[in-house]
Chains A and B, each alone.
Chain A
């Protein structure tokens, strides 16, 4: 995929070229949105909104990392969605999550035993719950760093925060996550139990 050519064509109004970019990045964009939002539907809404916004703002893209630029729009869309939810608290994110379990936790009976599946599910639930317990800004940094694997500089670029702020947020988020995960000791794999 010639990303630069696709971006140029999309900037000139070629929707098909832009859709090629969408198909390439939608997995990462949706996962970031899902970890930040905490439920699949809200994540899907935020992701769709982000891709539309990115297309409208594509003329202002002046080079650099397209992925970082796109994920910044995704995280901003997530923050907007979260603000909307907080203004209407009747639709609790926790309730939505419990009613709609993580889509990645589907049972794959032919490759793992039921015990393994349950263990995996427990770990995913614990991680999800601990992540959702973080403040929004710390959660975004933790997801981008420890789930998506971005560097400090990339996180600063995506979140629009200073490097020092990124370090500070990451440090605090990890401390909280460590404390939170200690509460799920019996659910964690033996090698990962925190003493």
Chain B
């Protein structure tokens, strides 16, 4: 009934809705879609002699090729870096989930008057600069002889991204109807069963949202591996940054970006398929 009513309202307010959504739509078209298309174009072009790109039309013929893609798929080192990046992102996501879930559960279960304060504490690190916080880890890890290791990279990644997992989880868990847990208990479910059968399945949307918010940025992150990781801990993000800023190979940088985006989209599609709630009983 609520959905029907919402539908009626949207019909009447259609012009207003278009007006309101026009500026963000324009913004996304200009600053997101256009650069993405430019990058796809760049991946087929040649690097310019002094950086940048060689013209796509040269000496009366098209100067486009699949060269960078050949280069990318022809060298195992890129596959290895991609694989390592996915591994780091997956590990970071998993650790964040394991740390964030109990925390979000505790915040959602705390007295109402404390919750805002606790949520504020979770996002408090954002108040100071990201780079300064990562430098702090250098000071922390240096004496322990853990700096420039995969451990340092993952620790930094987890630290920076934890709030992005806590917030969607908390938002989800906070909305749970406590009567459901009472009903489950009334019908014979102990503490662990109540969690497994009621809380966990109902929090899946929060888990997916938090995981996406952690996994995707970690995959493209270059500052943390650069500052905390060793030479062997290079990730896709570093690779892309290197092509644009150090090697001046924009076409390869673009290709790497496109492959990364495609991989993330593929993964998102897969997780949407797996994570969709079942519509019928087995």
A binds B: no
Q: Which residues of B contact A (CB under 8 A)?
A: none
